[in-house]
Structure 1
Amino acid sequence: MSRGRRTRLTDSPEFERVYRQGKVYRGRLFSVHVFPNGLGHPRLGLSVSRKVGGAVTRNAVRRRLREVFHGSVGDEQGGVDFVISARPAASEASFHDLKEEFERALRRLEVGGG
């Protein structure tokens, strides 16, 4: 899957649509909201607040979550938007812990992958 602009959720109204109309998984490290997008490919939106840490920490969490997403979700999931909202515990979690929790979220939300 290409990791360019087409795989990112960037507009505030798109985030709001996923938050309001989608299904949600709430975990210890992050929450995951999902909603069909009708585009034929999955997209990812990330929300990492200052509660998670300083800029360097937040960017590291974003990079790891993006890598977890791309390693777990492929085009076979079809047109689904994902919004991952990191919790402060995500800054201390290992990559393995993040991946494990994301795969648990996929199973609970009944989205392919994992």
Structure 2
Amino acid sequence: MKNYESLKTNKEFKSTYSLGKSYANKYLVMYVLKNNLETNRLGISVSKKVGNSVVRHRITRLIREFFRLNQCRLKNGYDIIVIARVNSNGKNYNEIENALNHLLLKMNLLKDV
């Protein structure tokens, strides 16, 4: 069962882009905005510059899998947009996982355990 929903509308993406905080690393950019809900909402954006549709969908699946496996570690109540950079093309799950963990630590979105 998912502990997050998806950002679907252009309005939701735009408000997160304009009002949220952003951090970036070599492979990904992450925008975060508090949403006053009890769940997280996730949006993933992978441009055509990254690669063909097979490559873009693979990166999307890796990011979605990371959030599925780590949903219990995340604080609730945030809109999160993850944008894949061109350098993410051809990276394996461990490299994407490290990049996402790095951004979540910078944003202080991990629960204190």
TM-score scaled by length of structure 2: 0.90
Letter in 1 for 2:72: G
CA distance in 1, matches of 2:111, 2:91: 21
Identity %: 28
TM superposition score normalised by structure 1:
0.89
The residue that corresponds to 1:17 in the other structure is 15
Change (3 A) 1:17 1:74: farther
Per-residue deviation, 1:74: 3.2
Amino acid at match of 1:2: K
CA shift digits 1:73-92 (9 cap, x unpaired): 33851110100000111122
CA distance in 2, matches of 1:101, 1:59: 18
Q: 2:101 corresponds to which residue?
A: 103
Say what the alpha-carbon RMSD is for the aligned residues: 1.9
SS at match of 2:30: strand
Amino acid at match of 2:83: S
What per-residue deviation string (whole Å, max 9, x for no partner) do you get for residues 53-91 of structure 1? 001111111111111122223385111010000011112
In structure 1, C-alpha distance between the alignment counterparts of 2:111 and 2:58, rounded to whole Å: 24
Give the unaligned 5+ runs of structure 1. Answer: none
Name the SS of the counterpart of 1:40 in structure 2.
Answer: coil
Aligned 8 A contact 2:74 2:109 in 1: no
Higher strand share: 2
Task: Tell me the amino acid that sits aligned with residue 12 of structure 1.
Answer: N
Could you say if the C-alpha distance between residues 66 and 113 of structure 1 is closer, same or farther in structure 2, counting changes exceeding 3 Å?
Answer: farther
Report the counterpart of residue 38 of structure 1 in structure 2.
36
Runs of at least 5 residues in structure 2 that lack an aligned partner in the other structure: none
Q: How many positions carry a matched residue from both structures?
A: 112
Q: Do the aligned partners of 2:73 and 2:110 also contact (CA within 8 Å) in 1? A: no
